[in-house]
Structure 1
Amino acid sequence: MIVVVVLMALVAVALVAGAHYYIWRRLVRDTTAAGGTARRTGTAVIILLPVLTFAGVGMGRGDVPFSLKQIFGWPAYMWLATLLYLLLALLVGEAVRPLLSRVLDRRAATAAGAAGGTGGTATATAPAEEPVTVGAATGSTAPPAPGTDTAEVSPATPAADPSRRLFVSRVVGGAAAAAALATVGYGTANVLRGPSVKRVTVPLAKLPRAAHGYRIAVVSDIHLGPLLGRAHAQRVVDTINSTNPDLVAIVGDMVDGTVADLGPAAEPLAQLAARHGSYFVTGNHEYFGDAAEWVDLVRELGVHPLENARVEIAGFDLAGVNDLAGEEEGQGPDFKKALDGRDPARASVLLAHQPVVIHDAVKHGIDLQLSGHTHGGQMWPVNYIAQASNPTLAGLEQYGDTALYVTRGAGAWGPPVRVGAPSDVTVVQLASRQA
């Protein structure tokens, strides 16, 4: 096992080093003069950034003061997001680079041809002058060396002009950097302005007419941590309360850290207002710290934890199961315990952090499962990886007689950046087919 971990670490380091070397070539070496201040500065920055990133990410999981996690976390994770989009932009630039070079070469050749034609006309009428030749490296003119055959001297080939290559490199590199920074800036704004509200209606065959229109505010993946703190929690709570829900369901990954560090950041959850209260199930990130402490804290904040448990709400049963990550501590999902004694004639709604447990929900006759975990992919093109490892990436889908709704979550993990997957709080409105 240790050997596998070491090999994976070496592969990760090699990939990161290769990515940074490629960026250095395109953004520093190809755009600056050798030995100049700009190249030395750019080289130093490219060396510093991966070191800073490894330090920041390592501190996030290490036993270091929380203030250091905050200080190093922002630049580390922001560079990770920038690195992704900078690489993608530069790869697109590889296709643009030869096209731009050809356009410039043709323009230069056309201009050189026109200048040559004009010069030929002039020499036919002007007094004879000492012949000159064009310097291949500098483009300057100088008298021909003794013995030079002036008939074979031609203008320098446009493609060999180093100033033109430098221009192309700077244009492509600058455009790639601008595109990456703009994308990351947009994605960061998507997170920091808080989640939007989505609404979806889910018909349930067993739901009585009296419960028709019941509204559950579903929120997941708030990810309170070194980067997203109390202000973020307050934005999420305000968004939820603005929907005036009948019930609030927090389906895991509320935090990234310990109660000692993040307890104050979670305090706004005490302001959640719903007619039938707020409920919570653990996600995999709760087990990165001490899940039991977080369960105790949310209870103190007035949120009801459902640890493989069930409660009867007006018109349906609400059940919750622990996250799969709890299996290592003997606290994994237990459907039998959560659903024991349930009347199968009643409609059932299950809170489960990971969508992948939908197959267990189908086996146990659950009518609706509410999940998160995927972030909707969070940052394109990472969504393709998330989609491959989850039955549903985001939204509502049907599995047999069981409906599954997956929210994209209200926060972000790692870089506080969302591209193509904006955060949300979803109001799931239950509909009775008897209404």
Structure 2
Amino acid sequence: MVAVSRSETEAGSAPEPGAQGASANPQRSLRRRLGGAVVLLVLAVLFFLPWWTLFASGVDWPFPVTLAGTLVFAAWLVVFPFLMVAGHGQRRADRAARVADSTLGVIWVLFTWSVLGGLVHLVLIGLDVGGADRARIVAVAVAVVSAGLLVWGHHEAMRVPRVRRLEVHVPRLGAGLDGTHVVVLADTHYGPIDRAGWSARVAEAVNALDADVVVHAGDIADGTPTQRREQSAPLGTIRSRLAKVYVTGNHEYFGEAQGWLDRMAELGWEPLHNTHVVVERGGDSLVLAGVDDVTAESSGLAGHRTNLAGALAGADPDQPVLLVAHQPKYVRQAAAAGIDLQVSGHTHGGQIWPFNFLVRIDQPVVHGLSRHGERTQLYTSRGAGFWGPPFRVFAPSEITLLTLRSRGGPATA
């Protein structure tokens, strides 16, 4: 062993950059391979359990039925990763994305109800009910329930969201702003399925609410402003008395976040890129602040990061603040800063049950109004659109009308 003094190290005995990069590359390659192996393993489990439930768990279908089902599931599993790469990789082929996303939704629902079907099967065995037809009864039930949920879930995903109305008591709000109507849109996710008509109907629904303030809480689209130009155009028709504000979501950072800020400004919205605006009525003021999504800094896009201090710079600390932040988990920083009300999206309410339980691991709230600390309240929207799979199961979309109250009792739904 040779001892190296600090002076020798400082003099230049540190590894050369090329050597350091060479040692890092195998590590990155190993991580990619391990990550790929985990993804393939998860996919195999997702596809295997429905196949087993429907065709191989003692159902005793005629051989041609079992063979056909097995071939379909095998082909489905092999083709799916290629469709995902083609649809969501550099090519961004919308047709491939539509097929891949729909496949993901179908297989998730089949997997979920296959798990539940397996539990029911075990109960039936314990009760000695069903006899030789037990497995076949479970398989048919899983298929029928899954098909029904997928049809209904697709309808729920593609419909104009219902309006959810909520009163929120904001103690610091001045009497002049009592009754202010804030309409919240989030997670429109314009994407591979052309929903320009849907977007126009959503804009009409928002305008019917006669809002004072309209908020878009991020995840406007999957794709670039050029790709989704027609779908986003109806946002330019939305009206408000005092302000229309927008912040980036995490999905903007998969595409062109700055481009979406520019596009929304072009459509007449105020992009809250770590900044704020002040609205006034009846001699009272409300600060509308917004921050970039928490993934902004890791995107590497210059000038993009979550900066609450910057968003509030110059604002009167005695005025109430409505903060727009895409992800609910930012409420920790909001509460520390004494924000009155944070409005978020991101969770989709889970979108396809029981994914809401997984969302809850990452976020403090899945949907609805919640309190954090002495002053701060958080409203988390289920969102207007959907990401990926065109299904919503037990997680309905929403357009939210918040009525801000300066006095009265606790917030009521």
TM-score scaled by structure 1? 0.80
Q: For residues 175 and 365 of structure 1, do their structure 2 counterparts lie closer, same or farther at Cα, with a shift above 3 Å needed?
A: same
Equivalent in the alignment of 2:116: 92
The answer as to whether partners of 2:340 and 2:376 remain within 8 angstroms in 1 is yes
Query: Which of 290, 297, 305 does residue 271 from structure 2 map onto?
Result: 305
One-letter identity of the residue aligned with 1:334: N
Partners of 2:392 and 2:309 lie apart in 1 by 37
Partner in structure 1 of residue 180 of structure 2: 214
Deviation at 1:197, TM superposition (A): 0.5
Supply the distance in 1 between the matched residues of 2:82 and 2:399 (Cα, whole angstroms): 33
Q: Could you tell me which residue of structure 1 aligns to residue 101 of structure 2?
A: 77
In the alignment, does 2:397 pair up with 1:431? Answer: no
Is 1:179–2:145 an aligned residue pair? yes
Amino acid at match of 2:358: I
| Aligned-partner Cα distance in 2 for 1:4–1:96 | 39
- Partner of residue 15 from structure 1, selected from 35, 39, 42: 42
- 1:243 aligned partner: 209
**CA deviation string 1:254-308 (max 9, x = no partner):** 1111122111211111110111231110001001001111111111111111111
Shift of 1:32: 5.6
Separation of aligned partners in 2, 1:38 and 1:15: 26
Which amino acid is the alignment partner of residue 409 of structure 1? G
Counterpart of 2:290 (choices 311, 315, 320) is 320
Distance 2:130 2:330 in 1: 58
The structural deviation recorded for 1:74 is 3.0
- What residue is the counterpart of 2:323 in the other structure? 350
Amino acid at match of 1:89: W
Q: Measure the CA separation in 2 of the matches of 1:20 and 1:345.
A: 56
Shift in alpha-carbon separation, 1:344–1:27, aligned structure 2, 3 A:
same
Counterpart of 1:325 in structure 2: which amino acid?
A: T
Q: 1:385 aligns with which of 353, 358, 362?
A: 358
After superposition, the Cα gap between the structure-2 partners of 1:15 and 1:336, relative to the gap in structure 1 and judged at 3 Å, is: closer
Distance 1:376 1:348 in 2: 25
Per the alignment, residue 367 of structure 2 pairs with 394
Using the alignment, how far apart are the partners of 1:229 and 1:184 within structure 2?
19
When structure 1 is superposed on structure 2, of 227-236 and 191-200 the one drifting more is 227-236
Q: Which residue of 2 aligns with 1:409?
A: 383
Structure 1 residues 413-422 or 46-55, which shifts more? 46-55
Offset of residue 19 of structure 1? 3.5
What do the CA deviations read for 1:26-56 (whole angstroms, capped 9, x no partner)?
Answer: 323444667x433332222111212333233
CA–CA separation in structure 2 for the residues paired with 1:33 and 1:378: 34
What is the aligned-residue RMSD (CA, Å)?
Answer: 2.1
**TM-score of the pair, normalised by structure 2:** 0.84
1:325 aligns to what SS in structure 2? Answer: coil
Question: Does the aligned pair in 2 maintain the 1:255–1:286 contact within 8 Å?
Answer: yes
Letter in 1 for 2:80: T
Residue in 2 that maps onto 1:5: 32
Question: C-alpha separation between the residues in 2 aligned to 1:416 and 1:341?
Answer: 43
Distance 2:294 2:242 in 1: 27
Aligned partners of 2:404 and 2:224: how far apart in 1?
35
Aligned partner of residue 278 in structure 2, secondary structure: strand
Query: Whole-Å Cα distance in 1 between the matches of residues 69 and 218 of structure 2?
Result: 42
Aligned twin of 1:265:
231
2:88 is matched with: 61
What letter corresponds to residue 318 of structure 1 in structure 2? L
Change (3 A) 1:241 1:268: same
1-structure distance, mates of 2:33, 2:334: 38
Q: How many residues align?
A: 371
* Aligned equivalents of 2:167, 2:293: Cα separation in 1: 26
- Unaligned 5+ segments in structure 1 are 106-164
**Corresponding residue for 2:242?**
276
For the pair shown, the structure with the greater C-alpha radius of gyration is 1
Give, as a single letter, the amino acid of the residue that structure 2 aligns with 1:207: L
Distance between the aligned counterparts of 2:392 and 2:51, measured in 1? 26
